[in-house]
């Protein structure tokens, strides 16, 4: 939490005359505003939690109120969605929302506890994150082209690890198999960390995760990232080509984290949050924290956020339907 902003005093005489400390308008407004919460549908300490806490710190001043993070882990984030649905639509509760809640889950899960269009309203995007495919450093594969050849030659050994069934890194792996022309067996893990440990130990032939998850291990020579999904090369992995460079635009997709609220939230409150978020994510303090994670900041208006979600939905829907993957 930031300390109150104290107005600069122009002279010692003014200081002597003043009987109180002048407080910034944002802090004055905060005094009468109850705290706001950002729900995170995942455990404390994870990547989404880190993003939410960094954002909450920045929003403290721009919203003029204390902003806290409320972790509601479980069911791939769907417990957090239940918490948002039950919260008042008055701007006091928001949720850090992976785009998959609206762009992938409707096609992955046979039954959902929410209706994506009715229950989730993106107020502003916050960050975008590229994904990547990697192999053990002991693998004979050095490039994505070599990987494709290896997969076709060894279909019985062609598996890949990922952090969670039905998530973007899982579906990306399925799409890679589709592009290569040989299905990949998916091996789900309980998070990225155990998957990466298994990949480093060559217990799986490949792994799919975010660039931020892989970067330190690639740069330390513990695994080999073959390609990334972003439009441009990642600053964390400047030696790794993009799928687009390699001629695979059908593997070029990023994930998005956005702040979402109830669609019933009054428009002036939505506008206030959106403006505050755009200001927060443009701040270098926030941006530098996101670069460490391999994320790029991406504030937006609500309309722009909806357009980005629609674009990703249009990308992922045919991929998921073609895979035939479903979760109960």
Per residue in 66-106, pLDDT tens?
999 999 998 888 999 999 999 999 999 999 999 999 999 99
Q: How far apart are CA 172 and CA 129, in angstroms?
A: 13
Q: pTM to 2 decimals?
A: 0.84
| Mean pLDDT of the chain, nearest integer | 89
The token duo for 186 is: 């998916």
Spell out the domain ranges in the chain.
33-127+256-323, 131-251
Examine the pLDDT at 21 and tell me if it is beyond 70: no
pLDDT tens readout for residues 168-200: 999 999 999 999 999 999 999 988 889 999 999
The token duo for 234 is: 């990642």
DSSP code per residue over 232-295: S--TT-TTSPBTTTTT-GGG---EEEEEEE-TTS-HHHHHHHHHHHHHHHHSHHHHHHHHHTT-
Q: Place 224 in a pLDDT band, splitting at 50, 70 and 90.
A: very high
Angle ∠(327,202,214) on CA atoms, nearest 5: 70
Report the topology of domain 33-127+256-323: D-Maltodextrin-Binding Protein; domain 2 (3.40.190)
Per-residue model confidence (pLDDT) at position 79 = 93
CATH-assigned architecture of domain 131-251? 3-Layer(aba) Sandwich (3.40)
More confident residue, 109 or 19: 109
Q: What is the distance, to the nearest Å, from the Cα of residue 229 to the centroid of all Cα atoms in its chain? A: 14
Per-residue model confidence (pLDDT) at position 9 = 33
Q: Place 32 in a pLDDT band, splitting at 50, 70 and 90.
A: low
Q: Place 38 in a pLDDT band, splitting at 50, 70 and 90.
A: very high
Per-residue model confidence (pLDDT) at position 191 = 84
Tell me, yes or no, if the two domains 33-127+256-323 and 131-251 fold the same way.
yes
Mean pLDDT of 202-216: 96
Hey, how many other C-beta atoms are within 10 angstroms of the C-beta on 328? 5
Per-residue model confidence (pLDDT) at position 34 = 86
């Amino acid at each position: 939490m930031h300390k109150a902003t104290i107005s600069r005093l122009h002279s010692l005489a003014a200081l002597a005359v003043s009987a109180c400390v002048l407080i910034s308008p944002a802090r004055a407004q905060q005094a009468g505003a109850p705290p706001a919460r950002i729900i995170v549908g995942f455990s404390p300490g994870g990547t989404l939690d880190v993003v939410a806490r960094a954002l909450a710190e920045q929003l403290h001043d721009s919203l003029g109120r204390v902003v806290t993070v409320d972790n509601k882990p479980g069911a791939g984030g769907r417990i957090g969605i239940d918490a948002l649905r039950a919260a008042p639509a008055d701007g006091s509760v928001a949720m850090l929302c992976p785009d998959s809640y609206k762009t992938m889950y409707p096609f992955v899960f046979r039954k959902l506890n929410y209706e994506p269009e009715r229950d989730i309203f993106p107020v502003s995007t916050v960050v975008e994150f590229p994904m990547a495919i990697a192999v053990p450093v002991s693998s004979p594969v050095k490039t994505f082209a070599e990987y494709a050849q290896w997969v076709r030659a060894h279909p019985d050994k062609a598996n890949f690890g990922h952090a969670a069934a039905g998530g973007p890194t899982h579906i990306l792996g399925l799409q890679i198999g589709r592009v290569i022309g040989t299905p990949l067996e998916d091996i789900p893990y309980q998070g990225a960390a155990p998957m990466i440990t298994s990949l480093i130990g060559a217990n799986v032939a490949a792994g799919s995760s975010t660039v931020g998850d892989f970067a330190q291990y690639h740069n330390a020579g513990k695994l080999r990232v073959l390609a990334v999904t972003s439009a441009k090369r990642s600053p964390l992995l400047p030696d790794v080509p993009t799928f687009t460079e390699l001629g695979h635009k059908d593997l070029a997709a990023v994930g998005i984290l956005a702040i979402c609220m109830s669609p019933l939230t009054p428009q002036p409150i939505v506008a206030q949050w959106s403006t505050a978020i755009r200001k927060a994510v443009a701040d270098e303090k926030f941006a530098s924290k996101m670069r460490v994670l391999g994320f790029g900041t991406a504030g937006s208006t609500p309309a722009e956020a909806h357009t980005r979600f629609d674009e990703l939905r249009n990308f992922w829907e045919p991929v998921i339907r073609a895979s035939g993957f479903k979760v109960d």
